[in-house]
Amino acid sequence: MVRRTGRRPGNQDTRQSILHAARAVFAERGYDKASIRAIAGAAEVDPALVHHYFGTKDKLFLASMNMPIDPSKLLPEALAGPRESAGVRLVGLVLRIWDSPAGAAALAVFRSALSNEWTARLMREFVVTQVLRRAVTELSLDPAEAPIRSALTATQIAGLLFVRYVLRIEPVASMPAEALTRAVGPSVQHYLTGDLPQL
């Protein structure tokens, strides 16, 4: 054991180096092809140290994006239950998070996703691997249809967040989450489980 007091600034630097390397590697290779080993290499530290500080690759990814929520904990609970009301529950979950104190941090991540190509890639990796892929599994969607269903779902949910929290267009900006969930939930439900046109 090293003495903690003396090492803290160094540890903070190491942590930051790892997070910086993680952002670069996740954006460049995508989540699936980014390995803890490659990130450790880019940060010039031992892979064991990355595990020590951040645990799993999922957790490192969330930390590297300053993501205030962990979809692996939230989604299964929200999506458990009847498939035919999953759309409403998903919209309800998203609005609960964004209306909560975590919303400000989520908004910062959302804003940064638009600022450049590099942050947009991180955001795409987050949405696809952490949110949509889990939703597809929880809902047992047909693998052949899962990509289009989940991407269409993303269009409705991303736009809802954009109009309510970024543009703040009324009445969507101020209406109660319950009413908005009733209005938008059916579109999400349609994308998840409804009949899709010939594409």
| Phi, psi for 8 (deg, rounded to 5) | -55, -50
Q: What does the block give as tokens for 97?
A: 């998070």
The window from 9-17, 64-72, 74-82, 150-158 that contacts a copy of itself (CB under 8 A) reads: 150-158
Nearer to a copy of itself, 52 or 168 (CB): 168
CA-based angle 170:132:86, to the nearest 5?
A: 65
In contact, 131 and 71? CB cutoff 8 Å: yes
Considering the rule CB under 8 A, would residue 143 count as an interface residue with a copy of itself?
A: no
Torsion on CA atoms 31, 33, 39, 42, rounded to nearest 10: -120
Stretch that binds a copy of itself, among 52-60, 63-71, 75-83, 127-135 (CB under 8 A): 127-135
């809802």: which residue's tokens? 160
Angle, in degrees to the nearest 10, between helices 117-125 and 4-29: 90
Q: Which residue among 63, 120, 134, 138 contacts a copy of itself (CB under 8 A)? A: 120
Token pair, residue 13, equals 């630097």
Which of 41, 110, 134, 138 binds a copy of itself (CB under 8 A)? It is: 110
C-alpha 11: how far from chain center: 27
Among 97, 184, 192, 193, binds a copy of itself (CB under 8 A): 184
Separation between Cα atoms, residue 130 and residue 70, nearest integer Å: 8
- 143 neighbors 181 (Cβ within 8 angstroms): no
Q: Is residue 148 part of the contact set for a copy of itself (CB under 8 A)?
A: yes
The interface mask with a copy of itself, positions 52-91, x = CB under 8 A, is ----------------------------------------
CA distance 107 to 111: 6
- Does position 104 interact with a copy of itself (CB under 8 A)? The reply is no
Q: Which range binds a copy of itself by CB under 8 A, 56-64, 66-74, 77-85, 151-159?
A: 151-159
For a copy of itself, which is the closer residue by CB, 64 or 187? 187
Q: Which residue ranges make up the site for a copy of itself (CB under 8 A)?
A: 110-111, 113-115, 120, 123-124, 127-128, 132, 147-148, 151-152, 154-160, 162-164, 166-172, 175, 179, 182-184, 186-187, 190-191, 196-199
